[in-house]
Structures are given as C-alpha cells and as structure tokens.
C-alpha cells in the first residue's frame, strides 16, 4: 500500500508519519521535509500537484496540509480559501481520476457553535463564525461535489478539534511554557470543545483505512468536553506547578477571529478514543 502524506512537516503530519512509519509513507510539504522521505509540493498549484500525484500513483492520499492560523485568516482570506478550499478540490479530482482514496481533515469550526450538546457527523455545517471555518467548509463542499460527479470516489472526511501534539505550536505547549515562567495565567472559560492528541488521531485514521470503513464523514476526537480554562488547569496540575490558572471571558481577550462557544464533535460511527486527560499525560511525558 503506497501512502502519500501531504503536510508532513506539520503537527498532525509528523504524527501521521510516525504512526504509518512501518508502511514507509511518502511525506510531502510545501518545502521538502528535511527529516522525512519525500519532496516539496504546493497543493494550490493544480497542474504541478496533479502531475506529481499521478506520477507517484499512491493508493491513499492523506491530506494534513492546511492554513491553520485562525486569526491571520481574517486578513488573509484569499490564502485561507485557496489552501483549505480550492486546493482540496484539486486533490479530490486527481484522487477520483486515479481511483485513490483521499483522507482529508476538517474542523469543529465549520459549525456556528450555538448547539451546547454538540454536533454529529450527519448534521449540516452552516454559518461558521470566522474565515478559517468558512475556508474549511469550502473544502468539505469541494469533496462532496466531487463525490456527486464520481460515485466511485472514496474519501474519508475527518473532522477533529483542539489539536495538540509533540511537534509544532499548540495550546498545550503554550500553557506548559507559560506556566514555567508566570505566577498566574488567564484563560477563557466560555469556549467548550474536545482536545485531541495528534498521535491518537493518526492511530484512529489508520484504523479507518485498514478496516475499510465506508466512505464518508467521521468525527475523531479524544473523549471528554472541557473549556480552554479547564484544559489549562489540567496541564498545570499534571506538571505539578503552582501557577494559578484564572478563568475569564472571551471579551477580555479580543482576537481578530471570533471563536464558536460550543464546538463539540460527537462521534457516532467509531469506537470512542481514550479521554483527553489520558492523552495529555502521554503528551506531557514527551514534552516535559
């Protein structure tokens, strides 16, 4: 099985390369990754991307490439839409043509965040509250349109949320660093979601592929719901530091991009993953 992982240098990409390492995956990023087998590819370049993937002839393309800067997306809307939306159409088209399975990751931010009880895989996303969410929703629509045009096209559209992992910048790493240098930290307590460990997400992705689950939409997160404040408090508690974590409202920390209040993804199709607290313990053993 020949597997191509796009975005191999990113936080999730690193996790995927590790989890699939025994299958010798090929890793591509916009710049040639220095530590992984592969090369450089700009997925927004339709012609070049299509040719490179056609020449490689993979059985599976796992797309972990994305423009993930939520705040910067507000001023770089065109770039976000191009990477997270239009480029996904290019990937879907070439995968459909080759008979290749496409795995693509989306986000809890495609929902407006008004539903406290959370969102199932079958609910239709609408009214994302920021540009990033809009761009990821565009990517989802591109995959759906490709499926309508080619009934044999097989894909796994995996929505996830609040990613943290050993590689790259993320909330858990930021709180870990701040807690070592500050006496107190303020963290918002009015945004709720499900933290997800990149290595657990990569393992669940492999399970879907190897067990040949039906094509469609899946929600993959670690189990348990919390606020960013509760997430931060658990990090500080597990590390054993005396830093005070104080709750605050989103209005106290205005940011360019609005965040949904309740972006809880409900998994109704797969066995539940372990709790985010258990995953966090593993992460902290690596990072601390």
- In this predicted structure, the answer to whether residue 36 has a pLDDT above a threshold of 60 is no
Mean pLDDT, all residues of the chain:
95
Task: Band the pLDDT of 275: cuts 50, 70, 90.
Answer: very high
β-strand 192-193 against 226-227: which pairing, if any?
antiparallel
- 196: its two tokens: 């997800």
**Where are the chain's structural domains?**
3-163+195-219, 171-192+225-262+274-287
- In this predicted structure, the answer to whether residue 35 has a pLDDT above a threshold of 70 is no
Phi, psi of 47 (to 5 degrees): -65, -50
- The string of DSSP letters for the chain reads --EEEESTTSHHHHHHHHHTGGG--EEEBSS--SSSS--B--TT-HHHHHHHHHHH--SEEEE------TTGGGT-HHHHHIIIIIHHHHHHHHHHHHT-EEEEEEEGGGS-S--TT-B-TTSPP---SSHHHHHHHHHHHHHHHHHHH-TT--EEEEEE-SEE-SSS--HHHHHHHHHTT-SEEEEESS-EE--EEHHHHHHHHHHHHHTTPPSEEEE---B--EEHHHHHHHHHHHHT---EEEEE-GGGS--SS---SB-PBP--SSPPPPBHHHHHHHHHHHH-
- What's the mean pLDDT in 3-32? 94
Q: What is the pLDDT of residues 62-114, one digit of tens each?
A: 999 999 999 999 999 999 999 999 999 999 999 999 999 999 999 999 999 99
For residue 286, the model assigns a pLDDT of: 92
**Cα gap 214→208, rounded to integer Å:** 9
Quick check: is 119 catalytic?
Answer: no
Share of the chain above pLDDT 70, in %: 98
- What's the mean pLDDT in 196-214? 98
Catalytic, out of 67, 119, 132, 283: 132
Task: Band the pLDDT of 37: cuts 50, 70, 90.
Answer: low
Least confidently predicted of 27-41, 62-76, 134-148, 221-235: 27-41
**Cα gap 4→26, rounded to integer Å:** 5
Q: Which residue has the tokens 């393309």?
A: 61
- What's the mean pLDDT in 259-263? 95
**Cα gap 70→104, rounded to integer Å:** 18
Pair 189, 249: CB distance under 8 Å = yes
Pair 209, 23: CB distance under 8 Å = no
pLDDT top residue among 69 and 32: 69
Task: Please name the fold of domain 171-192+225-262+274-287.
Answer: UDP-galactose 4-epimerase; domain 1 (3.90.25)
Pair 44, 82: CB distance under 8 Å = yes
Share of the chain above pLDDT 90, in %: 93
What superfamily does domain 3-163+195-219 belong to in CATH? Answer: NAD(P)-binding Rossmann-like Domain (3.40.50.720)
Q: What is the pLDDT of residues 160-192, one digit of tens each?
A: 999 999 998 999 999 999 998 999 999 999 999
């Amino acid at each position: 099985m020949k597997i191509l992982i796009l975005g191999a240098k990113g936080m999730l990409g690193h996790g995927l390369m590790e989890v699939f390492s025994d299958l010798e995956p090929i890793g591509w990023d916009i710049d040639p990754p220095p530590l992984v087998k592969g090369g450089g590819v700009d997925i927004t370049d339709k012609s070049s991307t299509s040719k490179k993937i056609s020449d490689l002839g993979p059985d599976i393309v796992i797309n972990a490439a994305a423009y993930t800067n939520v705040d910067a997306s507000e001023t770089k809307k065109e770039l976000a839409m191009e990477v997270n939306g239009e480029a996904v159409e290019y990937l879907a088209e070439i995968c459909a043509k080759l008979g290749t399975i496409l795995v693509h990751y989306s986000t809890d931010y495609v929902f407006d965040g008004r539903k406290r009880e959370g969102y199932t895989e079958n609910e239709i996303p609408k009214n994302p509250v920021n540009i990033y969410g809009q761009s990821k929703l565009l990517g989802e629509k591109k995959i759906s349109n490709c499926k309508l045009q080619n009934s044999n096209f097989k894909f796994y559209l995996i929505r996830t949320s609040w990613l943290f992992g050993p590689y790259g910048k993320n909330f858990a790493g930021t709180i870990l660093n701040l807690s070592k240098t500050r006496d107190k930290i303020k963290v918002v307590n009015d945004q709720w979601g499900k933290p997800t460990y990149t290595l657990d997400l990569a393992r669940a992705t492999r399970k879907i592929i190897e067990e040949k689950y039906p094509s469609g939409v899946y929600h993959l997160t670690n189990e348990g719901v919390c606020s960013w404040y509760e997430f931060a408090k658990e990090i500080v508690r597990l590390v054993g530091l005396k830093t005070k974590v104080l709750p605050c409202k989103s209005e106290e920390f205005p940011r360019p991009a609005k965040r949904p209040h309740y972006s809880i993804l409900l998994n109704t199709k797969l066995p539940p993953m372990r709790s985010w607290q258990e995953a966090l313990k593993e992460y902290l053993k690596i990072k601390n």
